[in-house]
Chain A
């Protein structure tokens, strides 16, 4: 829970210059924590609320279920696959709904972008389905453009989902072809308005445009996190994701780290990966089959499928923790399954894909079973606990030790803990990171700098 204290920083002072120096992870600067801090009410209540992840689960889960109830009226089921993956993702994080972890919010928004995009042109024109037909009347290019704007928001929530922004090329090119300059400028403007505060905060928090990416080195300020630390942090993310657990092994070749990464996965995660590979085969097969029959798959959906594949590749190379890319991993099996259900007329290839899909479902089952069991066990154990009927369970608090960092006392968790607290401010998860710093001025907003920089 290294994020918690960032919510407290948002509430107390907004930001501290160079705060990424006292805890490097502050540099990631997820916008999700801004959302969480607005509805935390730490300034009002003794125990701050942490309900935003649950709220997003409720909203997107509701949307997904409502869409799936209209399943029969859909001309194609790419959108339904997205809705199903939203529901599976919610099942996956259900027992951690109270956590303001940044990847939950980011991936829920990413899943919504994918599912809503995939649902374009899905409704039949049946007059009986007023609401669906109403949605169908929306201009698909404008809808894609708005979802592209939302994907820039996802980028500010979690940079590992950044490639979703590539989807913006589809509506962008279409609007440019139609020479609708005003609309292009309006959407660009919206994207800039969304990304700008993220970049400005990055500048103040870490001195980098995007931390820990050191490829863009624009600023030379005294609170800047040293490049060596940023590179080390980036290497840590990669190597921990790959199961190597040692930043020094960043240059390990792919053929060597893939077996290590595979061994580090849980059984049900391995089966999910196998299901993903099978779904790729089915999707490719169906794509070629549709092309041969001169009934190609819809371009809008194909473009998003391509973005999902690119996002999966980016996730695999950059930060291959299953939980960081789960939404991208859940979509292909669901899409392959629904694509097969759409098949009219059976031939040898359909039967082959059907068998493969059956095998794929068999592989997804342990993943679903694991989290379903988690969720039901949790519900059985805690549902209607008298202790929490009125108030929410408060944030956990670790024992801390005070560290003198320049003019300020920074709290750090006492060994063996490495969690940050909400209740202590300012504080860090790692004492050695804070001990490399000193204060920059008289107030906390003046922040911290690394002792080796800006002397």
Chain B
């Protein structure tokens, strides 16, 4: 297997979590209640921690001397490989929770499979991530049910969020040559194999929440090849400004 495929694959794993982790961190100090503010930022830190490990591994596999900070702070939007869903602005609390739930179930399935990766370092990261994802799923599923089965307003907002997000879910499961190559080597997992258990798990929670899963339709894509929405550039400008203004700074 060629290294570039593995590096791209690891960047996809890391960027998903870095970008979503940053979006969640935007809630810091803005949560609907103190306890939930803490919960959101805890999940944010989990994701950024996972991203740091994955990007570090990507840098090592690449062998060009880039560490996780270089990859996080000194790449432009076109070099990011996250799925589009994760870079969308944080929206209201309903949007944040529904997105987090959709991704967390995906992440749990993906990382459960990656625990069996032939790349030991990746299997180790997956084992750590599974534990965190399991809690994220539990926390978000409970909120999805609370919002969907709550007041008229919370139900409407949660349903709108689900309607808006659905067209971005397909990209999580689209496999290309990179995915297939890494999966064939026993290192990665083909994301298209995860869609059935994912649909079953999220569907069960949406039924309990009284939310309607949108009909399958056109699915947005492009993030895995670096074709992003306008939102990622703005987000990176804020996320990267300090590291780029003061390269090598420590505190």
Chain A bound to chain B: no
Question: A-contacting residues of B (Cβ < 8 Å)?
Answer: none
Question: B-contacting residues of A (Cβ < 8 Å)?
Answer: none
